[in-house]
């Protein structure tokens, strides 16, 4: 009996390990060619950054490269303007003097002088500052995976497709309650060392174990676990993309790069496509480059 329990545990552990991947292959349900889904993190340390060969090949074998939002400069600029506090407001209006000084110190420490704080950072909405302060700690050691993936897609002459437009993105972002944003920012600036340690742990878990559930957990923690924001910004939009994805992969082979929270869970792309009858299987990849035999 004990041996049977051990065997069941061992087999279950193997299945879990096999399921944990950042890359998934979509087949079946009448598809003439496979498509791929890849889970990304917005930014990563550049030192040690590596795109697995399996991911590169999946892109090169596809017809279209799909993201949630276009990376064109004019689109990104419009979004950046939209996530500023309305009417030229300042984040200082939501923080006490002590927290203001902590935030300003963090920004100045990692490369943003006082003028940068007053002219730019202080005008960003609180949740954007949670992300910005994290990115600033990487300084020049930062890379944006979606941009790197898009470069490979462009080199392979893939068509670029977006699942949503910038207005949809902005409208979804507006649903994030300011109270939750402020609480998320306060937690970040008052526990900044722990916040950065958790980000680094998330990166390690992503690279070493491809533990997308952990990445999603840390991502939502940074939003003060706002249920409304999760529903509107993640769940509802992911669900709305499924008809578009289905139509796209019926006619073309697609490489779909989305933020990790859009992939996992019962409202993630992986499970939603499975419910539509597709076979969605994890692909074994390694984020560590193979050592040369020379």
Q: For the segment 31-73, what is each residue's pLDDT rounded down to a tens digit?
A: 999 999 999 999 999 998 999 999 999 999 999 999 998 888 8
pTM above 0.75, yes or no: yes
Dihedral of CA 226/186/47/214: which sign? negative
C-alpha 205/C-alpha 201 separation (Å) is 6
Q: What is the pLDDT of residue 114?
A: 65
Q: What separation in angstroms does the CA of 40 have from each of 33, 210, 271?
A: 23, 11, 17
Is residue 20 within 8 Å of residue 206, measured between CB atoms?
no
- Residue 185: CB partners within 8 Å, gap ≥ 6? 91, 94, 95, 103, 126, 127, 129, 130
C-alpha 259/C-alpha 144 separation (Å) is 12
Per-residue pLDDT at 172 exceeds 50: yes
Pairing of strands 44-45, 142-143: antiparallel
When mean pLDDT is compared across 127-136, 162-171, 217-226, the lowest value belongs to 217-226
Residue 156 C-beta-side C-alpha neighbours within 13 Å = 21
Per-residue pLDDT at 13 exceeds 90: no
Q: What is the pLDDT of residue 4?
A: 37
């Amino acid at each position: 009996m004990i041996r049977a329990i051990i065997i069941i545990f061992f087999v279950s552990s193997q299945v879990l390990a096999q399921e944990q991947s950042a890359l998934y292959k979509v087949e079946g349900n009448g598809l003439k060619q496979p498509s791929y889904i890849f889970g990304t993190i917005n930014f990563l340390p550049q030192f040690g950054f590596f795109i697995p060969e399996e991911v590169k090949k999946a892109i090169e074998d596809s017809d279209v490269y799909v993201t949630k939002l276009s990376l064109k400069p004019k689109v990104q600029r419009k979004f950046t303007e939209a996530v500023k506090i309305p009417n030229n407001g300042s984040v200082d209006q939501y923080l006490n003097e002590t927290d203001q000084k902590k935030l300003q110190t963090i920004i100045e420490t990692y490369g943003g002088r006082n003028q940068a704080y007053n002219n730019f950072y202080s005008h960003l909405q609180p949740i954007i500052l949670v992300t910005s302060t994290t990115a600033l700690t990487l300084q020049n050691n930062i890379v944006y995976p979606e941009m790197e993936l898009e470069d490979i897609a462009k080199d392979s002459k893939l068509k670029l497709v977006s699942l949503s437009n910038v207005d949809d993105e902005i409208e979804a972002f507006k649903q994030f309650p300011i109270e939750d944003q402020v609480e998320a920012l306060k937690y970040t600036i008052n526990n900044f060392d722990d916040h950065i340690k958790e980000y680094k742990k998330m990166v390690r878990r992503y690279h070493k174990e491809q533990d997308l559930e952990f990445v999603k957990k840390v991502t939502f923690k940074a939003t003060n676990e706002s249920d409304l924001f999760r529903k509107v910004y993640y769940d509802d939009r992911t669900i709305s993309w499924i008809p578009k994805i289905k139509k796209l992969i019926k006619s073309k082979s697609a490489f779909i790069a989305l933020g990790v929270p859009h992939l996992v869970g019962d409202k993630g792309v992986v499970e939603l496509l499975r419910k539509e009858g597709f076979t969605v299987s994890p692909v074994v990849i390694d984020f560590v480059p193979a050592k040369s035999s020379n």
